[in-house]
Each structure stands twice: as C-alpha cells, then as structure tokens.
Amino acid sequence: MSVLDRRELVTPTGVSPSRIGGLDGVRALAVVAVLVFHASAAWAPGGFAGVDVFFVVSGFLITTLLLREQETTGRLNLPAFYVRRARRLLPAAVVVVIVAGLAALAVGGDILVGLLASLFGIVTLTQNWVMLAAGNDYFAQAGTGLFDNFWSLAIEEQFYLVWPAVLALGFRSGRSPRQGWIGLAVAVSVAVPLAMVVAGYGAAAYLSTFGHLFGLLIGVWLAVALIRRTPSATTVTRIVGTTLIAVGLLAFGAVSFSDLGAAVERQTLTSLAGAAAGAALVVGCVLTTTPRPHLLDAGALGWLGRRSYGVYLWHLPLIVLADAALPALPDLGRLPGRLLAVVLSVGLAALSYRYLEEPIRRRGFLATVVRPWPGRLAGVTAVLLLAAVAAGTALLAPAQTSVAALIAAQTSAEASPVATAATAQPRETRTASPTPTTSAPSGADLISAPMVAVGDSVMLASKRALQESFPQVSVDAQENRQLTKAAGEVTAVLGTHPQARVVVIGLGINGVGSSQDLEQAVAASGDRVVVLVNVSGPVAWADSVNRAIVEVAANHPRVVVADWRSQARAHPDLLASDGVHPGYPGSQLYARSIADALRSYRP
C-alpha cells in the first residue's frame, strides 16, 4: 500500500500543477480503519477494507499522472517514473525492515519463524506470493508475521512495474486506454476472487495478485473516465460530489465496523465493498476540488493522511513485536501493548516523513552529492544491517513456532496411566447403537460416559487433558477446522462412534459461524447431550460466535455451554504466545470447563 502525498499529483516540468483535494483525508480514514482492525479486530471486523480504499486511490492517482504526462509531453518517461516511485517507497520501507528486523532478533522466538522468507518476499516484491506459498492466513491474527502487511505493497509494486509499461506500449502503437476495455478488466478482476472463494481458495482470493487487482483497476478506470471529462466546479457538481463523499464515508464506516468482514466466506465481499466506497470517495473529491483547501484535508485528518504510508508500514511490525515482548494481561490481553504500538507507529511515521521521506522525494537519492561520504556510508550501513538481519534470522529462527511445538507435544504425549486404562477398552466390546440410551443421565454420570469431541487446534492442544479427564472420550480435532463444517464433522465422527452419549463441539476460533451452523451440528448429534465450547482469542469473530453459542444453547435443553473464554481470560499466562492455544496447564482448564458444563446439565 503506497500512500502518495497529495503534492505528488504534479505533472512533469513545464505543466501546471494539478492537485485533488480531499484525498489526504480519505487516506487518513483508511489507515485508521486498518489500525483499529489490527489492534483489536473485534472493534472493526472489516477494517482491512481500508487497504482497498488505498488501492483505488493509488490506481487513480498513478494513472492520472501518467495520462497527463502523455498529453503534455507526448511520451511517458518510464525511467523517471520508476525513480519517483523508488524515492517515495523505498527509504521508509528499508528503515522499517531494518529496525523491526533487529528488534525481532533481540526478542527472538516465534517472531523469527518465517522471517527469512518474508525478507526474500520484500526484496523481490513478492511478499503476497511468499505468504500464500507458506500457507499463511492473513486473518489469523494470532499467527501474524512481522511483515505481513507488506503483502499489499507487493501487489501495488507489481502493478507499478507492469501498468505504466503497458500504457506506454499502447501509446507507442497509437492506442490510448479505452473505458470499455478497462471496464471489462475491472469486471474480470471482480469475478476472479469471487470464483476463487466459491472454489475454496479463499486465501488465494485475498493474497494473490490476480485476486486483488480490482481496487487498482477501479482506480485506473476512474482516471481514464475523468481525465477528459472533469466538469467545471459548479454548485451542482459540488452537491453531487459532496453527496458521493457522504455516501462513501457511510458505506466505508458500515463495512469497517459491521460484522460483515468477520465471516471467512465474506472477506472478499468486504474488500469489494471497500473498493466501491473508495471509488465513491475519489469521484466525490474530484467533483468538490476547489482552489481552497478541502475540508477532508484539514487538521489532524489531513496531517495523518500525508503520513499514512509510514503509519501503515510501522504499525503491524510494532504490534507483532509488542505481542511477542509484552505479557498478556488478565481481561485486557494484549490490547494495551497494541495500542502503545499504534501510538508509536504514528510518532515514527511523523519522524520518517519529515527527515527521510520528504527530503528524498524532493531532492532525490543523490541529494547528498555535495557531501557524498554521509550518503555512501548510510547506503553501505543499510545494506550491512539488512544482511545482518537475514543472517541472524537464518541462525536463530526456530524450526517451528511454540504453538506448533505445543500442539505436537500435546498430541504425541501419553495420557495418564489411569486414563489410558480407561480408554484402552477395545471398541468391539463397547455397546454400539445408533442412538444413546434413552435413560436420563445425570451430569456427573456423563463425565464417565462415552463421548466424542469435535474441534479445532485449541481442542487439539488440549487432547491429552481431555483424555485424562474423560475416560471414554474420542477426540477428533484438526487445525484450521471451521465452524461452518461442524454438522458434517459431527455426522462423520458419530458414524464411527455411535455409542457416544455426549458430543463436545469446540469450533469457531478459525472463522465466524452462524447460529444456523450450530443448530445443524446439534441436530446431527441426535438425542445426545451436546457441549458447546465457547471461543477465546484475538480474532474479530469471537464475540459473534459466542453469542450464537449462547443463543443455540438457550433453545435446546440438551445443550450446555463450556465457558472456556472465562478460564482463558483469567489465566492468560497459561496460553501460548498467540493468546489462543493452551499449554498443558491451560488445557486442564479447557477440560475442566467442559466437565463443569456437564455437571450443570439437568435432564
């Protein structure tokens, strides 16, 4: 995500400068949404759509700049364009990578896992593809990488490399960009991620270049449509423009702060809605631009917008560092540290803007030619520090994260001898029937009754404790399992364990599910007692899932709720660094919450 300074929309030498007011404020609102999303996704589940607003603005500004250059000079100076992009993007990004990388080496541990691959992705402008190849989930905030926010920079930089060259080639062959063809490209770019989601490739829909081009192409289409048709400033155009700004702001606010983005299957729709809101804001700003300063550019909003590129670069590495270095607090978790990181990112972005970005953007990389040695020394030092970060990461990075190691240890560990003896009974000797006995068991009886537990990685990390606490439990847990698949998983596991009298369902940490999904899982359980384990973790959909669990439990006398969330919040020290997965002592609390729920059951 590059955030262009408003003054950068200036045509080449000899051409009257042209600025579009209001875009600083648009960028500020977009970056605030992203900040809130990463600080606490529950506050702004769709805040990630701010990136799509940036994409629209960027595609519009870059294309407008190139079209004006062609109209004025009769050619596109691609080398000069790429130099300007490098001046604008590289200095701040290099400093962020060096500072955050050295801090990560000092912190050590999980934060180094995958960092070397990220450094490769940043250097080669392919971070989005590196994340995709590694199987990273951008929305799994518990496992966010140090430089995961560079995925959007990679897509935008790939766009900068290709689109100006395509445009120049078209001009040289006597062809100017046509609205119709670009409109068709926009339609295809919208259809591609939707098709990917339907086909089950949600991560690719979000992270791949082809899946996330729509915002940039919408900006291109707007630039082509408006470059020769910008109406004169009249009362009518200002009213239309103001209306579009108001609609865009309302739409973007609704997208950012509603639960739309919390659903895994609706994340692409959220991004598309964000791009649509961005398009309305851009057109509104064009129609309301006057010689006077634009209202959206005034005060703190404009100040933040002009520094939003640095804020975006700094905020996520600092949040990840704060998560790794600072302990979680009871009830508050890692929120205080994340808020501190956000404040620090604004301060560092302000310093970067004043002392690094603006001087280089105005004077260029060779501005130190009068005093060459400081410039050369700075360049050599940056290269050596980047090499040091890469070498240190290669030497110090663990083979896997502590969460992965924890899950592996818990799933491979033997249950206690008593529990093992209790569960060693051959399946052939157990009484098998398609439905449990019709007698009404008490809560205490259910603890020792045959049961199945269907869950995700949180349950997988608790497998040993479950086997020790419930003598006849069969645990079927997998990483990344979704609540939306609960009914099918319950049906499958009961097909091999029909004698079960209790069904424990521990799903929801990997993505939002609805009460309908839970209802279907309860129906698939037949007449058995069902325990729904609520979720705890720094994910946007936690509250939504927990509300659905309470709602479904209230509708069924055979359904009880295991309050894992309260246990996890009261004992954050017993969780892994991601704030989601329990270690062995924490997994005992996970099992205890299920036992307490069963004891509370009244037939």
User: Residue 329: is it exposed, middle or buried by C-beta count within 10 angstroms (0-12/13-18/19+)?
Assistant: middle
C-alpha span between 231 and 227 (Å, rounded): 10
227 lies in some domain: yes
Residues 345 and 370 in one domain: yes
On average, the pLDDT of the chain sits at: 86
What's the CATH code of the domain at 433? 3.40.50.1110
- Contact indicator for 500, 473 with CB cutoff of 8 Å: no
Compute how many other C-beta atoms are within 10 angstroms of the C-beta atom of residue 480: 12
Q: Which structural domain, as residue segments, surrounds residue 587?
A: 404-599
pLDDT tier for residue 371 given thresholds of 50, 70 and 90: low
The 10s digit of each residue's pLDDT in 380-429 is 888 999 999 999 999 999 988 878 887 887 766 655 544 433 333 333 33
Cβ count within 10 A of residue 230: 15
Do both 227 and 323 map to the same domain? yes
The residue out of 353, 382, 399 marking a domain boundary is: 399
pLDDT above 50: residue 60: yes
CB-based contact 230:283 (threshold 8 Å): no
Residues 313/43, Cβ–Cβ less than 8 Å: no
Per-residue confidence band for 202, with pLDDT thresholds at 50, 70 and 90: confident
Residue 413 lies in a domain: yes
Of the residues 384, 399, 414, the one at which a domain ends: 399
Dihedral sign from CA coordinates of 574, 577, 580, 583: negative
In a domain, 515, yes or no: yes
Q: Do residues 284 and 410 share a domain?
A: no
In terms of Cβ atoms closer than 10 Å to its own Cβ (0-12, 13-18, 19+), residue 99 is middle
Is 377 found in the same domain as 427?
A: no
SS (H, E, C) 560-572: EEECHHHHHHHCH
- Domain-located, residue 426: yes
- Report yes or no: 48 and 34 within 8 Å, Cβ to Cβ: yes
How far lies 201's CA from each of 119, 192, 193, 414, 458, in Å? 25, 11, 9, 36, 23
Query: Residue 1 falls within a domain, yes or no?
Result: no
Query: Same structural domain for residues 391 and 410?
Result: no
On whether both 234 and 281 belong to a single domain, the answer is yes
Residue 474: strand pairing partners: 452
537/518 same-domain check: yes
pLDDT tens-place string over residues 218-274: 999 999 998 766 556 678 888 999 999 999 999 999 999 987 777 777 889 999 999
Is the same domain home to 218 and 345?
yes
Q: What's the rounded Cα separation, in Å, for the pair 297 and 578?
A: 38
Torsion sign across C-alpha atoms 482, 133, 116, 365: negative
Regarding whether 384 and 499 lie in a shared domain, the answer is no
* Amino acid residing at 587: S
Using alpha carbons, select from 558, 540, 547 the residue that is nearest to residue 262.
540
Which of 13, 53, 48 is closest to 33 using CA atoms? 48
Regarding whether 214 and 93 lie in a shared domain, the answer is yes
445 and 494 together in one domain: yes
Q: Percent helix, strand and coil across the chain, each rounded to 5? A: 70, 5, 30
Between 515 and 349, the more confident residue is 349
Q: What is the pLDDT of residue 437?
A: 45
**Co-location of 356 and 504 in the same domain:** no
Positive/negative CA dihedral, 94, 98, 100, 104: positive
Domain end marker among 380, 399, 418:
399
Domain total of the chain: 2
**Which residue in 95, 102, 84 sits closest to 122, CA to CA?**
95
Flag whether pLDDT at 332 surpasses 60: yes
